[in-house]
Amino acid sequence: MSITLLRKYLAKEEDEPSAGEIPVKRKRTFEEIYAELLQKEKDKQILRPEKQIKKRKHKKVEKMPKQFKSKLERIEESDISVDPKALYEQNLERLKKKKPSKISQEIIQKLTRK
């Protein structure tokens, strides 16, 4: 529940005098307002729980980008196992070929020490 909504309800005053009484404006307490708002939220959830769940599932499927789908399909299609040691050596060679910056020099030194 938002604070602005609670403030709005706190500022609201009741105008329900009985038949014989003089109309007096009474501010509602925080507990009364909070209980009313909680009840409204529970009623909304009871009325339409299925629609909310269906919409959420549908939105997640639609929001998934097409590029990501194609990458997933490509990964599923290729069952090539990569040797981690060969990949490590290949990356080290690539780093050594480039003109290394200070940071990459430190990284190469740390990797070659191990």
The domains of the chain are located at 3-74, 81-113
Contacts of 40-49 spanning 24+ positions with Cβ under 8 A: 41/1
pLDDT at 61 over 60: no
| pLDDT score, position 55 | 56
Longest dimension (CA), the chain: 95
**pTM listed for this prediction:** 0.23
pLDDT at 53 over 70: no
pLDDT tens digits along 21-47: 666 667 778 888 898 988 888 877 766
Cα 77 to Cα 79: distance, rounded to the nearest angstrom: 6
pLDDT tens digits along 65-79: 556 656 666 655 555
- 81: phi then psi, degrees, rounded to nearest 5: -90, 130
Mean pLDDT of the chain: 69
